[in-house]
Amino acid sequence: MSGTIKVLNVAEKPSVAKSVSGILSRNQALRVRDGRSRYNRIFEFNYSIRGQPCHMLFTSVTGHLMELEFEDRFRKWHSCDPLDLYHAPDKLDIKRTLEEEARRCQWLVLWLDCDREGENIAFEVINVCRAVNRHLTIRRARFSALIDRGSAELCCSGTSFFLKVLCSTYVSDSYSDMCMGDMILLTHEIDLRIGASFTRFQTMLLRDKFVIDSATDDRNLVLSYGPCQFATLGFVVERYWEVQSHEPEEFWTINCSHRSDEGVATFNWMRGHLFDYTCAVIVYEMCVQEPTATVTKVQHKEKLKYPPYPLNTIELEKRASRYFRMSSEHTMKVAEELYQAGFISYPRTETDCFSSRTDLHAIVQEQQGHPDWGSYAQRLLDPETGLWRNPGSGGHDDKAHPPIHPTKFSTGEHGWSQDHRTLYELVVRHFLACVSQPAVGAETTVEIDIAGELFSASGRRNYLDVYRYESWGGSMIPTYTVGQQFAPASLTLDTGVTRPPPLLSEADLLSCMDKAGIGTDATMHDHIKKLLDRFYATKDSNTRFSPTNLARLNKVKLLEAMAVFFERSNRAVGGDNYAAGEVVRQCDLCQESSMVLKKNRDGNFMVGCSGFPQCRNAIWLPGSILEAAVTSNICSSCNPGPVYLIQFKFRQIEIPPGFNANHLGCIGGCDDTLRQLIEICGTGSRMSARGRGPTTTSSNGQRSSNRHNGCVHCQQTGHSSNDCPSQFSRSRNSQSHTHSENGDPSVSCSTCGMPCVLRTANTANNRGRKFYSCPSQECNFFIWEDGVSNGNGGRSIPSTNCSASNSGRRGGRGQSGRNRSHAADTTFVSATGDPVSNRCYVCGDPSHFANVCPNRGM
């Protein structure tokens, strides 16, 4: 190399051109002149690369150089058929600047963001420059942050030209392949053609034919379509449907409290809750009969709450929405203004990890004088406090920008709104939290045993000094020792109902979009705002979104309309990664696709038709399943076959006593155990057919589109499983006792009908007491002998005796409880909060408990 060569440097934005020019020139003899665009100035300075004198010209673009637009004759909405848009540039000022400068340069160095769009813009710049100078040597810079470290160097090595800048920037040796650039260009073009044509088409078609209730004049209403806005709306609609279709399901739980001199502890039932009232009552009565609590476990543990990862755009938007209810669009507007004024770093970044070259201490040092968090910053920098911790990494790096952090100290500027102050404070506090040790808490967990049932309570202490947006709940609990016994202050059977998930909040929506790759960090808030602007969705004061009637209330109609022109596919719905699964059997409804085992979005298992959504046949499995896998074993009784058996593993704590956590089950209808668990535990899905098309419940919780309210026992319609007549008779038959020929009472198992065996109890409270039980360990049926002698029926804890549970529920909730002698200070109350009596909750008879009531099966 000889003589001075001219290097044209082009950045994606003016701020980068200015920063890099300042760093490389050391701000010595740096000249600035205007380009043809008023925003994109040109910096000039002399530089030397390994002894090669260079004259550097540093200018910029502002994002894409080329604006994809239709020709004039296609721009007017009525000038052409929307279909014509499938068959049809630019920021001229910047383009002319580049052309003029490129003509007199030998090298072209591209300082564009290192993402797909940056790649695309790079090719736009290359095309413009090469068109006027075919001999340009072209290279692309890669850099992570523009922070001046006092020295900078541009290098070249051998024949491979590369550029290295020692200032927290790194420059690679080449730019990427053309395919990427072409792909981006193609995406833009498809987005424009489809978006514009479909928006015009449906707006002109529908706007004047319907009275559309919106906040704008119908004539100005735009029914837009775009791949990002439509997908974003899809999330809102999906959740809305989920909420609408939720059917509350009643459940029961047992709660226990204990009062001591040190305070009150609330113990939660470790089973969580049961959906079967009878089972809950029986277990509750067991506890009431022997209410003395024994402490079985006391565990003290140190708990750590780690600070958040460094802040990227999506987290900034989500946290501003959660903490301040600030819309993502407004957050980005305020953040942009703070960035433009130099107070925070570039706000559009995916990066949530700091480069090792970033001087984090220097950023903290700047904040030491702040009246609110300055003292915390000082403590951070004091090695004796041990408060400093290098920040964690969230695992994302866009190679273009650092995480969002403060770049200039401020106690609040004149002209800042409250939102500017709030957002700046969030950025600073978040940064300080990132470089802090985790919060430490001491947690104590106490487990107690009442009549074999386990309950637990926990308490916690902690501190979170600087990040005041988050708390770490926890309460104090009294001191306990293992083996200690006490009488509960209260032991209650409480009821509750399952609730639908909440509508999507803005933070939820951002998470959905992020997960599905909808939009970019710079545009996601725009898509959300567009839904509101176009009246597709509304946002309530709690930042939760609902679709309006404009948002495709009837998806089925749209599908039907499309089906006129297109053949239905068997592909899973977009973004449904849960669709893949193992084949269990042929779908007996559509008889075309397979029923496959899969997990739904909540992590619960189901067996559904692979032809979804055309075929909605589904079997909802118990929510207590931990693992499930299809085996190669085929059920010998279910037809049409083959029906492959599934190996289930249940969460022991969520299933009744006596059920095995490991179960090889069949979904073909022959599996009583599975059916019982569905009845007792409920299914993983809380969804109902309402609002989702004609899907209803049938055998084994199966939902199909051609059956209505089928009973799980008799498969008949017209009554629910809980009111099945077959179960009434079955209950009466199985639970009544008979006398054998020799006069001794004989008892049959309520589940399998086998004659029971007479045994003797060996528990602390019933030692020596006789009882009948089923010889099959799977049934768990038992009845006290004295109960039989008195003419009372038996019980089976995992019984699916729905009629009994219903009659019991209606007839006597709040009337159970007996044998208070164990705990004179204990208060027994019903689910309704009423004091309980010594009466059977089924018939009201004070002489016995409901579990041995002769009327249970009636």
- The catalytic residue positions are 346
CB-CB neighbours of 844 under 10 Å: 14
Q: Which among 272, 580, 300, 305 has a CA at the least distance from the CA of 453?
A: 272
Distance CA 835, CA 831 (A): 10
Gap between the Cα atoms of 806 and 722, Å rounded: 7
Residue 703 CA to residue 723 CA, distance in Å, equals: 19
Q: Which residues bind DNA (CB under 7 A)?
A: 12-15, 37, 39, 62-64, 67-70, 75-78, 91, 113, 115, 117, 188, 191-192, 195-197, 199-200, 203-204, 207, 222, 224-230, 336, 340, 348, 519-520, 522-523, 527, 530
Q: Which is nearer to DNA, 346 or 828 (CB)?
A: 346
- 642 preceded by cis ω (within 30°)? yes
Residue from 280, 308, 283, 688 nearest 466 by CA: 308
Q: Closest separation between CB of residue 386 and DNA, Å? A: 39
In the complex, the smallest distance separating the C-beta of residue 199 from DNA, rounded to whole angstroms, is: 4
3-state helix, strand, coil in the chain (%, to 5): 30, 20, 50
The answer to whether the CB of 127 falls within 8 A of the CB of 136 is no
The structure tokens listed for 60 are 């910029």
Distance of alpha carbon 677 from alpha carbon 659, whole angstroms: 9
**If 0-12 CB within 10 Å is exposed, 13-18 middle and 19+ buried, where does residue 249 land?**
middle
For residues 70 and 161, which CB has a smaller minimum distance to DNA in the complex?
70
The distance of closest approach from Cβ of residue 257 to DNA in the complex, given in angstroms and rounded to an integer, is: 53
Distance, CA of 530 to CA of 537 (rounded, Å): 9
CA dihedral sign, ordered 126, 131, 132, 137: positive
The closest of 277, 261, 27, 86 to 814, measured between CA atoms, is 277
Contact 370, 409 (CB under 8 A): yes
Closest CA to 97 of 50, 65, 121, 73: 65
* DSSP category for residue 63: S
Question: Least separation, in Å, of the C-beta of 144 and DNA?
Answer: 14
CB of 547 to DNA, least distance (A): 16
CB of 538 to DNA, least distance (A): 18
What one-character-per-residue DSSP string does 789-832 give? HTT---EETT---HHHHHHHHHHHTT-----GGG-TTPEEE-TT
Distances (CA, A) of 443 to 270, 410, 440, 460: 18, 38, 10, 4
The CA-based dihedral angle spanning residues 11, 17, 19, 24, taken in that order and rounded to the nearest 10 degrees = 100
- By three-state DSSP, how is residue 96 classified? helix
Q: Considering the complex, what minimum distance in angstroms separates the CB of residue 117 from DNA?
A: 4
- Cβ proximity to DNA: between 520 and 800 the closer is 520
Closest approach, Cβ 122 to DNA, in A, equals 12
Nearest distance from residue 697's CB to DNA, in Å?
38
- Between 70 and 388, CB nearer to DNA: 70
With H, G, I as helix, E, B as strand and everything else as coil, classify residue 47: strand
